[in-house]
């Protein structure tokens, strides 16, 4: 049926589970904000990096190339406030702060590692598809009428 909502069954199933059930397809559902955090580029890089174990800020910056101090700090704070990362302050001078995944964060990092593996495995096929797309969609050159 044209114009039908392809996610209607999923939405209906979520409604049947109760009003407190998460429904990622519902605009007002709080799970959307969590999805936004989880889908963030830096989150997708920091979480699996922390699977290696407890790390200091500088270690994370070296491991996750290209992240600025500001973005790393914002990402770690967002992950901490959502219960995914634990900040451990050793209360030493000079400051000694470490970050580690919580149990909840570890479960998410495991899922993200699968995504990372997929990307690493398929990057060449995707790059080839991009090149094919460019060739097929390149504007035709206009021939001179001379």
Q: pLDDT for 98-145, tens place per residue?
A: 999 999 999 999 999 999 999 999 999 999 999 999 999 877 655 545
A 10 A CB-CB count for 140 gives: 5
Q: pLDDT for 27-43, tens place per residue?
A: 889 899 899 999 999 99
Residue range 89-94: mean pLDDT, rounded: 87
The yes-or-no verdict on residue 93 having pLDDT over 50 is yes
According to the model, what pLDDT value does residue 134 have?
93
Q: Give the whole-angstrom CA distance, residue 68 versus residue 3.
A: 44
Q: Which of 120, 117, 114, 81 is nearest to 99 (CA)?
A: 81
Output the furthest CA–CA distance in the chain (Å, rounded): 79
């Amino acid at each position: 049926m044209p114009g039908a909502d392809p996610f209607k069954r999923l939405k209906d199933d979520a409604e049947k589970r109760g009003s407190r059930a998460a429904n990622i397809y519902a605009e007002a559902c709080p799970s959307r904000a969590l999805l936004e955090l989880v889908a963030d580029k830096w989150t997708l890089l920091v979480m699996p990096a922390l699977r290696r174990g407890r790390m200091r800020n500088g270690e994370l910056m070296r491991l996750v190339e290209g992240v600025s101090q500001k973005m790393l700090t914002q990402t770690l704070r967002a992950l901490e406030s959502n219960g995914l990362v634990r900040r451990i302050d050793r209360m030493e001078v000079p400051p000694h702060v470490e970050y580690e995944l919580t149990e909840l964060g570890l479960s998410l990092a495991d899922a993200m590692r699968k995504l990372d593996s997929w990307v690493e495995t398929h990057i060449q096929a995707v790059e080839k598809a991009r090149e094919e797309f460019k060739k097929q969609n390149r504007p035709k050159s206009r021939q001179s009428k001379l």
